[in-house]
Structure 1
């Protein structure tokens, strides 16, 4: 009996010793890994230690200056990929949100605050243009209007609808044709044509669904204004002028035109810049 108790005591001591050794090695391994990690992070150059690229609002290539807001507007690609509208990193319309459709996709924004008022889309191939005309007539002064095409945005457009869009600042809607890719930002009550419009035709371009990326400037004292900062434009590759692929343009503002509603638009123009 005494022999059995001695064996049990010896076994308990051996187990305790092994457990202590195991715990010691575990603590030593953690400590070594921690020290090695600290040494490695200090020895790496700062550029290698922080390899994660910066993420800017709406996926733009660089951050907007303080007091400005950014948006990215992308037209649909044929009948496959829907349009996408993003403002200040907030997705307004996209296939993911399930609020886009064939035809003309529209987002209305408050011209003073930039807040989203409503979104809608109207089928310009198999739909009726009358509800679209009614929608355009009900837009209030001072409202920012974003439009993007998806598949066909022109077949059902009549002269009345085109004039209403032209009154919002569009200069291309008069010649908009079947399956042209078109994006546009204007406003109700605007007194001039907006510089924020792009249209490409699949008849002349190899990549007609390429997006137009622009920066929007926000004027805190007189509502929302456009065109006070450079814009980055990715122009689709033209089959006639392949050298114009991905042309870099710069937007130059002349002045701001404040209006009673609080909506204002800078008079601006685009100039082709030499590649860096």
Structure 2
């Protein structure tokens, strides 16, 4: 019995020593080197090489003395529009400051600060409110506009002329349930390069009764005093 006990003790000791040896040689050296991140092939270099995030989530950054912007129209009468300027969301459903018709944000063209926002129902609203809003815009103000649902049923000649004065090329033909995004400025001498328009046409509409959503991004120059 004593011999058997000694043998058992020796076997247990050898097992413990073997376990300790494996732990020291493998886990202390190999396991510390092999991490989950490296096992998945993710290195610090890969993280460094990720592309930088640009203002408003745009594809490119803007040069000095230019403002970054992104304007997204509404999708049918379900998803509202959004307006981003210098990485700040000026209007969106999250901010709860959008509505059917035209959604307009006015920005100081020199310092990029938000001056005012407005929502104008162009289906059953009062177009005179939009007329007064546009008349009060001062020279040097940047005007960002996004349509939602219907931008034009109530639009009259006077309002269209205001937008033409801000640099719009497409406002003359804007109609029922068309989609429109536009960036212009009070005092522009030429037509704005920042405008997109899509006609409501049941043959080409993406949604039932509405064309597809529009998204426009870019860099607009700062007004230098």
Instruction: Structure 1 unaligned segments of length 5 or more: list them.
Output: 1-24, 224-261, 263-276
Q: Distance in 2 between matches of 1:113 and 1:177?
A: 34
Report if the CA contact (8 A) 1:60-1:213 is conserved: no
TM-score computed with the length of structure 1 as normaliser:
0.63
Which of 114, 117, 133 aligns to 2:131? It is 133
Q: Distance in 2 between matches of 1:155 and 1:58?
A: 31
Which of 135, 153, 157 aligns to 2:151? It is 153
Structure 2 partner of 1:35: 33
**1:22-63 CA deviation, whole Å, 9 max, x = no partner?**
xxx9xx97997543229938x866665568664322122233
Q: Distance in 2 between matches of 1:167 and 1:141?
A: 11
Q: What is the alpha-carbon root mean square deviation over aligned residues? A: 3.2
Higher relative contact order (CA 8 A, sep 6+): 2
Report if the CA contact (8 A) 2:179-2:214 is conserved: no
Write the mapping of 1:115-264 to structure 2, written as runs, cut at 5 A: 115-203=113-201, 205-207=204-206, 208-219=211-222, 222-223=223-224, 262=225
Larger Rg: 2
TM-score computed with the length of structure 2 as normaliser:
0.76
Report if the CA contact (8 A) 2:83-2:91 is conserved: yes
- CA shift in 2, pair 1:68/1:188, >3 Å: closer
Tell me by how many angstroms 1:214 deviates: 2.6
- CA shift in 2, pair 1:33/1:126, >3 Å: farther
Instruction: Structure 2 unaligned segments of length 5 or more: list them.
Output: 1-22
